[in-house]
A and B are shown apart, each in its own frame.
Chain A
């Protein structure tokens, strides 16, 4: 089973539409971290958000918002009033302690969702 599942491979919307990218994760740890990264056509991974497992408060940053629900192991990402510049691949990732233990964590990515925003 995949640790991070992004079921939507591709999404296409028209500018100004709202869009939600889904992310479901799997872990047995009680302490873990969740991330979203954006990868535009240029290829560089851009950090968007980091949440720890003890903070379920939803977060809003401009047009971006994140909904973290431990009960359903989901960490969904919504873009409000999408713009052409939002077109990119978006990755959800889970950071959990390594099997070797200690304080070292390993980051596992989902397969990504390609978002295309058309003018």
Chain B
């Protein structure tokens, strides 16, 4: 069974530029998550989708971050404009259901903002 796919794996941009990340969850997984992991810290949830609806986006900086999961499968996370402090690894995860189920993570996208 294929795992969670993410692209790109690495991205370097200058501050104030925009960037987008893509995620394809495990087939059949209804719940999709985006996390931000800053160096030396644990992942922090940015947004959670159940199918194509948003369940929780309370920690998403909505003035610059946006995410969508239009058809309930793939998802994109966008940052516009990027700031230096956005440098981090962006992890996508998926689970079969939302209720405390195991989340399986993708390889992540390492973003460096200069």
A and B from one complex: yes
A residues neighboring B (CB under 8 Å): 4, 31-33, 35, 37, 42-47, 50, 52, 91, 93, 95-96, 98, 100, 103-112
Partner of B56, one of A46, A95, A104: A104
- Name the interface size band of chain B: 20 to 34
Residue pairs across A and B with CB atoms within 8 Å: the count is 62
- The dominant DSSP class at the A interface is strand
**Structural contact, A110 and B98, CB atoms closer than 8 A:** no
B108 adjacent to chain A (CB < 8 Å): yes
| Inter-subunit contact B98/A44 (CB<8 Å) | no
Residue B106 at the chain A interface, CB threshold 8 Å: yes
Residue pair A45, B91 in contact (C-beta under 8 Å): yes
Q: Could you tell me the distance in whole angstroms from the C-beta of A106 to the nearest C-beta in chain B?
A: 6
Residue from B40, B56, B99, B100 with most neighbouring chain A CB atoms (10 Å) = B100
A44-B107 contact given A104-B55, A106-B56, CB 8 Å threshold: yes
